[in-house]
Amino acid sequence: MKTLTCWLMLASITIPLHLITVTVTASTTVHKQQQPLTTNVNMEDNIAYHQTVMGAGDNDNSYLDDATYAKYAARYVPIDTTWQVLGPFPTGMREQDFGADPLEAFGGFRQLEYDAKAKFPSELALDGVVSWHTTKMDHHGWVNVHYPDIKWEFNQLSLGWGINQFQGWARTTITVPNIKHGEGGTSSDGLVSITIQLENIGDFYVDDERLSGDWYGYGLTRHTLRLQPGSRHTLSVRVVHEVRIFGGVILPPPSKFKCELRLPFPYGHEGPNGSYRPMVQVIKEGTGGLIVMDAVDGVLAGEYISVALRNVGVQSVVIKSVKVLQGSRVLEAQLADQDKNDIRIFPSTHRPIAVRLKKLTGSGATTDDFREGEFSLRFEVATLSPDQKGEGHIGFLTTETLLIAQRKWGEPYIYTFRDFDGTIHYAAAIPPSNPESQPSNSAPVLVALHGAGLHIDVNIHRGYDWHGVSIKNVMNAIDSLAALLPGVPEHLKSLPGIKPDPNRLFMAVTPAAGYVNIKQYVPFSSWLSNSYTDAHLRGILESSIIEFDNDVHMSNTVGIPILARTGSVDDNVPPFHSRKMVRLGQENAHNTSAIRLSEVPGQGHWFKGVLQDAVMIVFLQTHLHDTLVTLANKSQSVEEVKIVVRPPFPDTCVITVINPAGMGSKCGIQVEQLRIPYRKGTIKLEVVKGDQVGELPTWIMVTTNIRRFAFSDLHLALQRQRHGRIGKLVIDGTTFDLTGRVMSGSGSFVREDGRLSKTGQLWKIAEDDEWKQHERHRETYGPAIQVLEKRVVIVLGTHFESMRFARTADRIAKLVAHDIYQYGRGDVEVLTDCELLDRYGDSSLEMKEGERVNLVLIGDAHQNSATHIVLGDRKSEVTIDTEEGVVSIYPTGQDFEQPGTGLLMIRPLGPSNLAMVIAGLDPQGLETAARLFPKRTGMLVPDWIVTGPEMAWKGAGGILATGYWGNHWEYLPTMSA
Ligand SMILES: *[C@@H]1O[C@H](CO)[C@@H](O)[C@H](O)[C@H]1NC(C)=O
Ligand SMILES: *[C@@H]1O[C@H](CO)[C@@H](O)[C@H](O)[C@H]1NC(C)=O
Ligand SMILES: *[C@@H]1O[C@H](CO)[C@@H](O)[C@H](O)[C@H]1NC(C)=O
């Protein structure tokens, strides 16, 4: 686009293989649309180093000097390049976290010896059996997994590409170099730290310990293991071919993964001249570890940067301070949260550290070294003593040279902002070309959401597709652009037409190459679990993601101008998806021109021009600029222009809601609660105009499954402006006279649970929001993945009954932290229960306003004092008692006592926060429950789930019980299985 009359904001919130385009508006629902894109980003050997497989044994038994060590550490841990492979077996989309591994019915892969004659059943293969083979790892660390005998094309004929989702196993051995590599001083345990990560893998095992892989190849994370020098270990990798990662149309399906194993570096002991080296790394691999704003005409576009650090030691560390080294005459740095609690990094975890960066005014500011935009930072790091109480060594950690890119006003630039959870993220913005010509005193924002590698070099922000966390991220990006105008030169800040207007979001939508829902993109129908479950359980599980089914919500799009775009030969997200959505849009509007399809002949997926060609520009101009300018030229006042720009308020409107938590307002109405959570609720609204001049309209509403709704803030503002805009409101036959009355912001309409008498009123007005103190509301409505929508602290219990149990719990805490950082670049802290109670007080977890966090609690009330407090606060009807060895569901009288039973559930933490409990009757139970931590979208995890040992092979068929809480956090028979 040559000239822009609006702000164009590009936010990359998705996992790299997904695209979203939202350009959308006030007083309507957040419309959702998503397009997966297959790139071959993950499939190229673009990594510029060769792996050297190094023999163990050199430098035996000696502490290495720095130079030797550096050479040593640049290499890899010895690994056998021959991998034993067994597969392929079928698997369902997003099914692996439920277990569902056929080999588990025969003892499990890790128990099986290589046996060239052994055969295992798999319907993917000829004769229905598969056997072992071996494959070589290449010099880049990649392992290609081929199954030459499988008739992929034939299988696909009847079953579609979903059948090309498959799983298998691969394994090899690694040998720990025989070196002394201690922590120095007396705390040395003689073990060696090794970092490991596997790319394109969901999970893998080192011996019997499960670790999370790097599915999408972000490259950001490493697990730190502590192993005996000279010892050998088995590396077992669950290889899953996900159509969404590797592309559905390529045959034979390319399945490969990459293994990286390293010795971190010399750490933890005395460095040169007696300085102490902290056991912490600056994350410089991958994308998104470092976030720095651009400078626009020399002014920093944002206040914050983020530098991610990784603790590769055995003790927690505290980041004490930061200062600018190189560039210190020009820039000043400070920890953003210095005044708050310690910034602790638990062993083997990552944290993105928020740093406030300021340009110094005065003489230094024009020196050469700033024009370069180069600077480096030095962190002061204290290692906690083993009891975690005191601080041990203090050391320093210096970054490489970091760069602030220099832009001129008018060019696209990157600005940084603080997200809802305090983490630093960024978006790219293109300012309006001629803000002077904007007729009103604000500018619309055009938001384009997409995956990495398109338009500009933006990388992952928050990888939850367009769901919960990600949509919050986008709204925060826009709000902070509007509030702070990062990157806008001072002299332009007061111009009318420069200030982005968040209220004019969602004015029009162009879903491009979008899909209807995840289940129609890659069918969930090939789940192995389906052979062991009934339809009711499947329904309960699926209810946890049905809120993301775009088709179900199409009634909400009526009245919004929509141009859907697709390529006629897109074989990735076939045009079928866009065509179907257009049909649904037209059906819901009862108007065959209500929503337009632009199907471009001969084009494939996400073609060139999809957002910039003539069709698109005309659409954008119609809905962004020309409306404004045309009206402005008719010499209307600014106020009138603003009113006309919003789509006219409709006479009728049908609101569809599955989960109020994920849904904004529509037609001025915000649904707050459903009568039966996670079932569809609708409101049909008809606005009947009065006969007489000046008479306010009557709103007639008919609802299904709606318990509570309120007017949206925007609608209330309009009501106030005009001293009310509704005369009578009739809800399911109950009439309220609202003439001249403006509801308070905290008021709502609520439907009584039962009708007291036949003539009694069904609906009444709740004047305040006191109900939010004890009922579930949009911040606590679930399902389990909602725990990620606030800042998260993981609390590790310290009262486990055995070393093995404690060790499993410790690994689970680290894995949850790893996954939240990896998938969402979230900043999670891991604390022990003692540390948490020290911070918030022993008897209750009174968190101050602004300090409130969601908790993930590892261990039950006996194992974790924080769990004890949270569950004691409000009794749960589903309980776990590890001392008695039982998980109980009181209302149904069910007790589950078999070994391997686990529980994952969310419970209230104060009125507006959540605590997730992850616990098990034994380490295996804890493991099965923890695997269901909802780390990525598309995982079918309700509010609570009791996991059983048979899940290993039966998948969801081994679930013992699951369900959703009611509006009062009670057991809900209709929504439990
Ligand atoms: C160590 O001390 C020597 C002598 O004072 C000095 O020349 C050298 O630069 C120091 N090295 C480091 C890394 O500080
Ligand atoms: C149908 O939709 C088009 C496009 O929004 C609109 O111009 C037209 O007035 C609508 N027709 C009716 C009968 O509402
Ligand atoms: C609006 O008026 C300005 C100033 O007279 C003119 O330059 C511009 O072309 C007009 N825009 C349109 C769309 O008519």
Nearest-ligand number for the alpha carbon of 561: 2
Residue nearest atom 2 of ligand 2, based on CA coordinates = 594
CA 395 / ligand 1 centre spacing (Å): 16
Do the bridges between strand 854-858 and strand 829-832 make them parallel or antiparallel, or are there none, so unpaired? unpaired
Ligand 1 atom 8: residue of nearest CA: 273
In testing the pocket of ligand 2, which one of 560, 563, 587, 591 has its CB within 8 Å of the most ligand atoms? 591
> Is residue 594 in contact with ligand 2, taking CB distance under 6 Å?
yes
Task: Name the residue at shortest CA distance from atom 5 of ligand 1.
Answer: 273
Ligand nearest the Cα atom of residue 635: 3
Q: What's the CA-to-centroid distance between 592 and ligand 2, angstroms?
A: 8
Instruction: Give residue 616 CA to ligand 2 midpoint distance, Å.
Output: 20
Pairing of strands 445-449, 7-11: parallel
Query: Considering Cα of 125, then 131, then 136, then 140, what sign does the dihedral take?
Result: positive
User: Ligand 2: does its nearest atom lie under 6 Å from the Cβ of 591?
Assistant: yes
CATH number among 3.30.379.10, 3.40.190.80, 1.10.3470.10, 3.20.19.10, domain 784-976: 3.30.379.10
Q: Please state, in angstroms and rounded to a whole number, the distance separating the CA atoms of residues 713 and 699.
A: 18
To test ligand 3's pocket by mutation, which of 633, 635, 636, 641 has the most ligand atoms within 8 angstroms of CB?
633
* Residue 414 near residue 295 (C-beta atoms within 8 A): no
Please give the structure tokens belonging to residue 380.
């002061």
Return the residue whose CA atom lies nearest to atom 14 of ligand 3: 630
Atom of ligand 2 nearest to the CA of 594: 2
Determine contact, residues 439/624, Cβ cutoff 8 Å: no
Confidence at residue 506, expressed as pLDDT on a 0 to 100 scale: 54
- 271 CA to centre of ligand 1 in angstroms: 11
ω before 500 within 30° of 0 (cis)?
A: no
Distance, in Å, from the CA atom of 452 to the CA atom of 43, rounded to the nearest integer, reads 15
Which atom in ligand 3 lies closest to the alpha carbon of residue 630? Answer: 13
Alpha carbon of 634 to ligand 3 centroid (Å): 10
d(CA 608, CA 486): 30
Closest ligand (CA of 396)? 1
Q: 590 CA distance to ligand 2 centroid (A)? A: 9
CA–centroid distance, residue 270 to ligand 1 (Å)? 14
- Phi then psi dihedrals of residue 236, to 5 deg: -115, 125
Question: Which ligand is closest in space to the CA of residue 274?
Answer: 1
Mutate to test the pocket of ligand 3, among 624, 629, 641 (most ligand atoms within 8 A of CB): 629
Write down the pTM of the prediction.
0.88
Report the atom number in ligand 1 closest to the C-alpha of 271: 13
Residue nearest ligand 2's atom 12 by CA? 591
Bond prior to 650 in cis (omega within 30° of 0): no
Longest dimension (CA), the chain: 97
Record the tokens describing residue 918, joined without a space.
């992850």
CB of 40 shorter than 6 A to ligand 2: no
Decide if 595 contacts 608 (C-beta within 8 A): no
Q: Report the C-alpha gap between 597 and 564 in whole angstroms.
A: 5
66 CA from centroid of ligand 1 (Å): 14
Query: Does ligand 2 have an atom closer than 6 angstroms to the CB of 558?
Result: no
For ligand 1, atom 1, which residue shows the shortest CA distance?
Answer: 273
Peptide bond into 88 cis (omega under 30): yes
SS3 373: coil
Cα–Cα distance list, 445 to 228, 558, 699 (Å) = 56, 21, 32
Q: Are 740 and 723 in contact (CB under 8 A)?
A: yes
The protein residue with its alpha carbon nearest to ligand 2, atom 4, reads 594
What's the 439 CA to ligand 3 centre distance in angstroms? 10
How many whole angstroms from 508 Cα to the centroid of ligand 2? 15
H helix intervals, 526-611: 535-542, 576-589
**What residues are in contact with ligand 3 under a 6 Å CB criterion?**
629-630, 633
Burial class (CB in 10 A: 0-12, 13-18, 19+), 75: middle
Phi, psi (rounded to 5 degrees) for 194? -130, 135
- Determine the atom of ligand 1 nearest the C-alpha atom of 273: 1
Atom of ligand 1 nearest to the CA of 275: 14
Q: Which amino acid is at 772?
A: K
Q: What is the CA radius of gyration of the chain?
A: 29
Report, as ranges of residue numbers, the positions in the chain whose pLDDT lies below 50.
1-2, 12-64, 73-74, 182-187, 267-268, 363, 451-461, 626-644
* Cα 801 to Cα 858: distance, rounded to the nearest angstrom: 14
Whole-angstrom distance, CA of residue 885 vs CA of residue 879: 11
What are the structural domain ranges in the chain? 45-269, 652-773, 784-976
Q: How many angstroms is it from 593 CA to the middle of ligand 2? A: 6
Instruction: Quote the distance between the C-alpha of residue 307 and its chain's center.
Output: 19
Which atom of ligand 2 has the smallest separation from the CA of 561?
5
Pocket of ligand 1 (CB under 6 A): 272-273
- Give the residue, by CA position, lying nearest to ligand 3 atom 10: 633
CB burial of residue 334 (10 Å; 0-12, 13-18, 19+):
middle
Look at residues 84, 104, 107, 102 and name the one whose alpha carbon lies nearest to residue 92: 102
Task: Indicate which residue's Cα is closest to atom 13 of ligand 1.
Answer: 272
Ligand nearest, relative to CA of residue 585: 2
